[in-house]
Chain A
Amino acid sequence: MAAADIKAPPLRADPGAPQALLPGAMAASKPYVANDKMQQALGFPGELVDGWQEKAIGRMGELLDKYRSLKVYMDACVHCGACADKCHYFIGTQDPLNMPVARQDLMRSVYRRYFTLPGKFFPGLVGARDLTKEVLDQWYNYYNQCSECRRCSVFCPYGIDTAEVTMAAKEIMDVVGLGQKYSNEIIGKVHRIGNNLGLPGPALADTLEGLAEDVKEETGEDVRFPLDEKGAEVLLVTPSADFFAEPHVDSLIGYAKVFHAAGIRWTLSSHASEAGNFGLFIGNYDQLQKIALRIREAALELGVKRIVVGECGHAWRVAYSYWNTLTGIGAGGDDPFARMLQQQLDSRYRQPTHVCELTWDLIERGALKFDKDANDHRVVTFHDSCNVARASRMGDAPGGQFEIPRAIIRAVANKYVEMPRGTTREQTFCCGGGGGLLTDELLDLRVKGALPRMEALSQVANAHGVNFMATICAICKAQFTKVLPYYGFKMGMVGGVHQLVSTAIRLGDQH
């Protein structure tokens, strides 16, 4: 679809009302396929292999035996449709295959055909079908219309998580040679250069120097942006977009100011210059682990005591939920691999820590001072990013991932408004750009997928004058920057929580 033709769907007068189905509306939506170099760099076939059907079914069988989630989710769905109208892509596109249950059925129909008795003998009865080339192409188009946000799993009586199915589908497609360019190219960059954006070490050092100069000019303070400094207390791992994208870089400046004000010695790492982990999006355990191991390597190399993760949604999911499993970063591991790192890291702190946990902890202890009126030109709301909301935690109690960022906002700004119930916290609507879909050839999908969040934002913008939507995810920031104008909002309306912190924090009187 030509960029000029892309328009935002109209905001719905009654978001609660059932929507008409538009079958095939997004049948042509398709991200670029990875070329053979990109595929081979990840150990996948360069193009669709001969005998792909058998190979795909074989891989499905392996995944069914390795992942209880996939096995149970294939069997447990009763087609109740509780999830059907909960997905932002269905809401925005009205394509029935974007209903989570229907998206799962693209695989479930194949699962039933090859792995169940009724599917083998009475396929028509149970909606079973062969894995033909048409079906594979349908998988490619529609599994790349799922941002793996897990919203559906909140409403399913059995917690069926379509994201797990999407990840499995992408893995199956990758191993037969059908990979997505955007995600696979990025993973290649991490291995070759160290981060998603392909920013090499020297360029990174340069960028950080520039930032230090900017902050010195702005504040008169020598706020440092250290790189590869051995013996620092904190290793900050942040999304590479934080190094130069707008508004991300304002959050990086915010983190640096917080460390400066609190007197914490910190460092970035050129080896672990990426918090993001697209191995998650393509459902490949090997890539997930390889990318995560860079953080462990950097931590051991630099001898740090704490590992802190910056404002990135899926990175925090991987860090919080998976790093302990994948890399031994965390407590309670009883094997040499895990213990080695535990001995080095400071066990008084949760490892890893989210930068919001760190900042809030400092605020609670009175270590940071703010001029809240510096943010008075902003009426702030908070967008819960899906991976943070539904796949992680902050602090001690469940739900800390909702409370802590909001607490920080209220500590640094006077005007905060919550978006309507059912659109935030565990039911938050995905920004529409996650899961490996943040690419230009999917812009039509992204604009449509943002609809429910834009509706919620409109309500508070109209009723309360909200002009700033804070979020702690690099993909959300990039997605909203692009998509907000389609809905009549200014792209500068989105920013990070630590951007607000940066605006209000008092630096001078710390010394």
Chain B
Amino acid sequence: MASGLRTGRMHPLPACGESAGWGAAPMTPATIVFALLFYAAFLVLVLGTGYRVWTYSRTPAPLKIPTTPAPTSRGGVALRLAREVLLFESLFKAGLWLWLAGWLFHAGLALVLARHLRYFTEPVWGWVAFLQPFGIYAGFAMAAGLAGLWVRRMFVARVRFISTPSDHLMLALLLAIALSGLAMKFVAHTDVVAVKAFFLGLMYFDWQPLPADPVLYAHLALVALLMLVFPVSKLLHAPGIFFSPSRNQVDDPREHRHLAPWAARLDPRKN
């Protein structure tokens, strides 16, 4: 995509003249709505998730309960967590199709998110530029993974049994984000230069107008919704795994006395 990549300037003003110039187009109501929406969504996402993570970190794990066999060193635990987060090791043991759909979706999501950094950085970072072409396949992988997961949730009896409306809605939300994003790439191009200007404008408090594109509006609104629900949803599994005692504890209870503060405070004669 054109000028956004080439310019070395810090100012969000695009080099090409055809896009909205500095103060040349009116600040649309949509721009104001989305600007406020994203500020709010960002705050809710960061503060809300930050708060949950803080409560996880403050809650003690008084007993050694790693699922054994477990690593006996902290380095080993780091490797175990890395294998979980990058390869979905435990899920692989659970079943090939579920692992494939889940991994495909998440790997796709990771690449898509990385590629989207280009809208928030100026100049675009080297490795983000490098990822550009892969991002396209990632978008399809993401949608395919999500579709596979949703079909499974609808048609496999035991998964259907445990599904709440929010489980289906979350898949719908993510799929709609993926499809609207792919649509802007392949079906109805949007003015990404202006989009980048808009987001950089939010970051530097120098608002730029958002293109009046319904698919873009849908995509952005859905993303904002995702950000808003993240801290009160099952998406907390993302930070949560790092605090899961069955995965993050070192298996060395005979070698080191593991004692939570509240356990240590029990009967002083005993402790």
Interface residues, chain A, with chain B CB atoms under 8 Å away: 18, 20-21, 23, 64-69, 71-73, 75-86, 96, 99, 101-102, 105, 116-118, 124-127, 150, 153-161, 164, 285, 289, 293, 320-322, 324-325, 328, 330-335, 337-338, 350-352, 389-393, 396-399, 401-402, 426-427
**Considering only CB atoms, which chain A residue lies closest to B76 in the complex?**
A398
- Docked complex Cα distance between A284 and B236 (Å): 28
Knowing A389-B68, A393-B69, the reply to whether A21 touches B246 (Cβ < 8 A) is no
| Residues B162 and A321 in contact, CB atoms below 8 Å apart | no
- Docked complex Cα distance between A153 and B70 (Å): 12
| Residues A126 and B164 in contact, CB atoms below 8 Å apart | yes
Q: Which residues of A contact B213 (CB under 8 A)?
A: none
- Docked complex Cα distance between A324 and B256 (Å): 8
Knowing A155-B94, A158-B237, A390-B68, the reply to whether A68 touches B162 (Cβ < 8 A) is no
Closest CB in chain A relative to B27 CB, distance in Å: 33
B124 at the interface (CB under 8 A from A): no
Knowing A102-B162, A322-B253, the reply to whether A337 touches B67 (Cβ < 8 A) is no
| Residues B67 and A390 in contact, CB atoms below 8 Å apart | yes
The stretch from B11-19, B51-59, B204-212 touching chain A is B51-59
Choose among A79, A101, A393 the residue that contacts B251 (Cβ–Cβ < 8 A).
Answer: A393
B88 at the interface (CB under 8 A from A): yes
Closest CB in chain A relative to B42 CB, distance in Å: 18
The stretch from B2-10, B110-118, B152-160, B181-189 touching chain A is B152-160
Choose among A23, A155, A158, A285 the residue that contacts B241 (Cβ–Cβ < 8 A).
Answer: A158
| Residues B244 and A293 in contact, CB atoms below 8 Å apart | no
B28 at the interface (CB under 8 A from A): no
B133 at the interface (CB under 8 A from A): no
Q: Which residues of A contact B164 (CB under 8 A)?
A: 79, 125-127
Knowing A21-B161, A76-B244, A331-B256, the reply to whether A69 touches B270 (Cβ < 8 A) is no
| Residues A426 and B241 in contact, CB atoms below 8 Å apart | no
Q: Which residues of B contact A73 (CB under 8 A)?
A: 244
Q: Which residues of A contact B266 (CB under 8 A)?
A: 289
Knowing A76-B244, A78-B234, the reply to whether A84 touches B162 (Cβ < 8 A) is yes
| Residues A324 and B257 in contact, CB atoms below 8 Å apart | yes
Closest CB in chain B relative to A69 CB, distance in Å: 5
| Residues B256 and A76 in contact, CB atoms below 8 Å apart | no
Listed by A's residue number, 7 A-B pairs whose Cβ atoms lie within 8 Å are A69-B61, A118-B233, A155-B91, A161-B65, A289-B266, A351-B254, A397-B72
| Residues A69 and B246 in contact, CB atoms below 8 Å apart | yes
| Residues A67 and B254 in contact, CB atoms below 8 Å apart | no
Q: Which residues of B contact A328 (CB under 8 A)?
A: 257
Choose among A67, A79, A125 the residue that contacts B59 (Cβ–Cβ < 8 A).
Answer: A67
Residue among A82, A157, A392, A401 facing the most chain B CB atoms (10 A cut-off): A157
Q: Which residues of B contact A86 (CB under 8 A)?
A: 94
| Residues B166 and A125 in contact, CB atoms below 8 Å apart | yes
Q: Which residues of A contact B55 (CB under 8 A)?
A: 71
B50 at the interface (CB under 8 A from A): no
Q: Which residues of B contact A116 (CB under 8 A)?
A: 232
| Residues A82 and B162 in contact, CB atoms below 8 Å apart | no
Knowing A75-B236, A289-B270, the reply to whether A157 touches B90 (Cβ < 8 A) is yes
Residue among B62, B68, B166, B254 facing the most chain A CB atoms (10 A cut-off): B68
| Residues A127 and B257 in contact, CB atoms below 8 Å apart | no
Identify which of residues 185-211 in chain B touch chain A, using a CB-to-CB cut-off of 8 Å: none
Scoring B residues 132 to 163 as 1 if CB is less than 8 Å from chain A, else 0, what string do you get? 00000000000000000000000011110111
| Residues B253 and A320 in contact, CB atoms below 8 Å apart | yes
- Docked complex Cα distance between A456 and B247 (Å): 28
Choose among B65, B90, B166, B254 the residue that contacts A330 (Cβ–Cβ < 8 A).
Answer: B254
Scoring B residues 246 to 271 as 1 if CB is less than 8 Å from chain A, else 0, what string do you get? 11000101111111001110100011
B122 at the interface (CB under 8 A from A): no
- Docked complex Cα distance between A427 and B251 (Å): 18
Interface residues, chain B, with chain A CB atoms under 8 Å away: 52, 55-56, 59-65, 67-72, 84, 88, 90-91, 93-95, 98, 102, 156-159, 161-167, 169, 229, 232-234, 236-237, 240-241, 243-247, 251, 253-259, 262-264, 266, 270-271
- Docked complex Cα distance between A296 and B69 (Å): 27
- Docked complex Cα distance between A23 and B241 (Å): 31
| Residues A66 and B62 in contact, CB atoms below 8 Å apart | yes
Choose among B93, B166, B254, B270 the residue that contacts A320 (Cβ–Cβ < 8 A).
Answer: B254
Choose among B65, B162, B166, B259 the residue that contacts A81 (Cβ–Cβ < 8 A).
Answer: B162
Residue among B88, B157, B158, B255 facing the most chain A CB atoms (10 A cut-off): B158
Knowing A79-B234, A118-B166, the reply to whether A157 touches B91 (Cβ < 8 A) is yes
Closest CB in chain B relative to A105 CB, distance in Å: 7
| Residues A21 and B63 in contact, CB atoms below 8 Å apart | no
Closest CB in chain B relative to A210 CB, distance in Å: 35
Q: 6 nearest interchain CB pairs? A: A333-B257, A159-B246, A127-B164, A82-B94, A76-B240, A398-B69
Choose among B62, B90, B270 the residue that contacts A67 (Cβ–Cβ < 8 A).
Answer: B62
**Considering only CB atoms, which chain B residue lies closest to A105 in the complex?**
B162
Closest CB in chain A relative to B77 CB, distance in Å: 11
Residue among B84, B164, B243 facing the most chain A CB atoms (10 A cut-off): B164
Q: Which residues of B contact A352 (CB under 8 A)?
A: 254
Q: Which residues of B contact A157 (CB under 8 A)?
A: 84, 88, 90-91, 94, 102, 237, 241
Closest CB in chain B relative to A211 CB, distance in Å: 30
Q: Which residues of B contact A76 (CB under 8 A)?
A: 234, 236-237, 240-241, 244
Closest CB in chain B relative to A402 CB, distance in Å: 8
| Residues B270 and A337 in contact, CB atoms below 8 Å apart | yes
| Residues A338 and B257 in contact, CB atoms below 8 Å apart | yes
- Docked complex Cα distance between A257 and B161 (Å): 54
- Docked complex Cα distance between A78 and B245 (Å): 17
- Docked complex Cα distance between A67 and B270 (Å): 21
Q: Which residues of B contact A332 (CB under 8 A)?
A: 255-257
Choose among A99, A161, A391, A427 the residue that contacts B158 (Cβ–Cβ < 8 A).
Answer: A99
| Residues A66 and B63 in contact, CB atoms below 8 Å apart | no
Choose among B59, B69, B94, B159 the residue that contacts A399 (Cβ–Cβ < 8 A).
Answer: B69
Knowing A118-B166, A398-B69, the reply to whether A68 touches B61 (Cβ < 8 A) is yes
| Residues B158 and A18 in contact, CB atoms below 8 Å apart | yes
Closest CB in chain B relative to A393 CB, distance in Å: 6
| Residues A66 and B262 in contact, CB atoms below 8 Å apart | yes
Q: Which residues of B contact A72 (CB under 8 A)?
A: 56, 240, 243-245
Q: Which residues of A contact B162 (CB under 8 A)?
A: 79, 81, 84, 96, 99, 101-102, 105
**Considering only CB atoms, which chain B residue lies closest to A163 in the complex?**
B65
| Residues A80 and B102 in contact, CB atoms below 8 Å apart | yes
| Residues A325 and B237 in contact, CB atoms below 8 Å apart | no
Q: Which residues of A contact B167 (CB under 8 A)?
A: 78-79
| Residues A155 and B65 in contact, CB atoms below 8 Å apart | no
**Considering only CB atoms, which chain B residue lies closest to A70 in the complex?**
B59
- Docked complex Cα distance between A84 and B98 (Å): 12
- Docked complex Cα distance between A334 and B256 (Å): 9
- Docked complex Cα distance between A23 and B162 (Å): 12
Choose among A126, A322, A334, A401 the residue that contacts B68 (Cβ–Cβ < 8 A).
Answer: A401
| Residues B271 and A18 in contact, CB atoms below 8 Å apart | no
| Residues B67 and A127 in contact, CB atoms below 8 Å apart | no
| Residues B256 and A78 in contact, CB atoms below 8 Å apart | no
